[in-house]
A and B are shown apart, each in its own frame.
Chain A
Amino acid sequence: MKPPSEDHDLIRWLDGEMNATEHAAFETRLKTDPALANEAQVLRALSVGIRSHLPADMTVPHADFFNSQIQVRIGQLEIDNERAQATAAPGDLLRWLRQPWLTAAGAVALAVLGLVLLRPIAETSANSFILSSYTPKIGVQAHAFHDEAADATVLMLDGLDAIPADRKVSGIHVKHSETEPQLAATTLYDVAGGRLLMISRDATGLPLIWSNSPRG
């Protein structure tokens, strides 16, 4: 019977988490244990296949992603164990669980589960969510998540240049606006009906703003 620690070592070996000493020791064991070597070969082939179909970078969709993934994985293992107990004699259970095809099926199920969990945040809930985001400037990164405590969806932009502290950043309070659709020009008005500014785009798509008040 294979101790659980060996399975753990196999996963760590596959994920490249071993240090040099551990890696060398495990490679030695692979040479002396044909069953383990066969299992490792199957899992490694499966892992390469799955990785080739996944994007190089996938953002974590929300803060509790890893916790929820672990909970789902635990639940799945419990279901697998119940099914195994119901269909196999106790003495055959471990041998059955060690079948390479079962390991492969579990890995595929995990990959599918991962893709499901990596979909945008809670499409079926009442929350807003981000489908995709793109930051044109190199060094700027955007990541989205849903914060349950704030009951809000967050699009965090990191790596932006700070606005100089001596720069005056001011706002306006727009009561209503009027738009000329054909020219895509919008005029904004304050509560007293005064014109605050007009915004449009130039032929290259850059915004053009005409304001009554000078900027800081």
Chain B
Amino acid sequence: MKFLLTSITLLSLCVTLRAQETPAVKPATDGRVWGALIFATNDAAQLTGGREQPPPNLPKLNERLGKVFPFKHFEILGQHQQDIFREFESWVVPSQDLFLKIDSKGPADQGGVNLHLQVWREQQVLVKSDAVLRAGSPLFIGGPAWKSGRLIFVLSLDRK
């Protein structure tokens, strides 16, 4: 059964790939987010050597992470800027190991956007959450331990 479902999905995606050759109408959005997978550790030797920087609207990110998580070093492993689609799910995938599915529930009353979030680790959903995300106020998600540190997912709403 699962093989059949996967086959159908693959077939659909092949059609999609061909359809992408023609311009499509851009779906309506409720904002745009920056998502990143960050490795936190006290052992500098374990860092991968990445030099990625957070966006300018998220200043002093490492310093802020250090207020919450007891680590000295924070390294961006991957990052992804993604539109939040109003009527369709949005994926924020800075890594295949830990990624996020977002469903918009519309603008929040006093700014920001209402979201349903799902944090996935491969094929396992770690947490489902309803949240209000506002610009300038990032969400830090403390994920699984790795090596002698921890993986952290950061989600931030861009200012319009």
A interface list, Cβ under 8 A from B: 123-124, 126-137, 140, 142, 144, 147, 149-158, 160-163, 165, 167, 169-181, 183-188, 197-204, 206-211, 215
Q: Which residues of A contact B148 (CB under 8 A)?
A: 165
Cβ-defined contact, A171 with B79, below 8 A: yes
Cβ-defined contact, B96 with A209, below 8 A: yes
Cβ-defined contact, A197 with B96, below 8 A: yes
Min CB–CB distance A209 → chain B (angstroms): 6
Range, interface on chain B: 35 or more
Most chain A beta-carbon contacts within 10 A, residue among B36, B85, B98, B144: B144
- Which of A133, A150, A169 meets B129, CB within 8 Å? A133
Q: Does B133 contact A (CB under 8 A)?
A: yes
Cβ-defined contact, A154 with B5, below 8 A: no
Cβ-defined contact, A163 with B146, below 8 A: yes
Cβ-defined contact, A180 with B124, below 8 A: no
- Which of A124, A129, A133 meets B128, CB within 8 Å? A133
Cβ-defined contact, A150 with B131, below 8 A: no
B interface list, Cβ under 8 A from A: 2, 5-6, 8-9, 12-13, 16-17, 19-20, 24, 27, 36-37, 39, 48, 50, 52, 64-65, 67-68, 76-83, 85, 87-91, 93-99, 101, 110-112, 119-121, 123-134, 136-148, 151, 157
Closest to B87 in A: A181
Cβ-defined contact, B67 with A169, below 8 A: no
- Which of B78, B85, B123, B129 meets A130, CB within 8 Å? B129
Q: Which residues of B contact A188 (CB under 8 A)?
A: 80, 93
Cβ-defined contact, A202 with B6, below 8 A: yes
With contacts A160-B145, A176-B81 taken as known, whether A128 is within 8 angstroms of B112 at the C-beta atoms is: yes
Majority SS at the chain A contact face: strand
Cβ-defined contact, A126 with B136, below 8 A: yes
CA–CA, A173 and B93, complex, Å: 9
- Which of A135, A144, A152, A201 meets B126, CB within 8 Å? A135
Cβ-defined contact, B142 with A155, below 8 A: yes
Min CB–CB distance A182 → chain B (angstroms): 8
With contacts A126-B137, A128-B131 taken as known, whether A163 is within 8 angstroms of B151 at the C-beta atoms is: yes
CA–CA, A149 and B143, complex, Å: 20
Minimum-distance CB pairs A-B, first 5: A171-B78, A171-B77, A150-B67, A174-B80, A162-B145
Min CB–CB distance A148 → chain B (angstroms): 9
CA–CA, A172 and B79, complex, Å: 6
Q: List 24 A-B contacts (CB under 8 A).
A: A128-B132, A128-B134, A131-B130, A134-B129, A135-B127, A155-B140, A155-B141, A157-B119, A158-B142, A160-B121, A161-B144, A162-B145, A163-B97, A167-B146, A169-B97, A170-B96, A171-B94, A172-B80, A179-B83, A183-B16, A203-B8, A204-B5, A207-B91, A207-B101
Most chain B beta-carbon contacts within 10 A, residue among A134, A136, A169, A186: A169
Q: Which residues of A contact B119 (CB under 8 A)?
A: 157
CA–CA, A42 and B131, complex, Å: 40
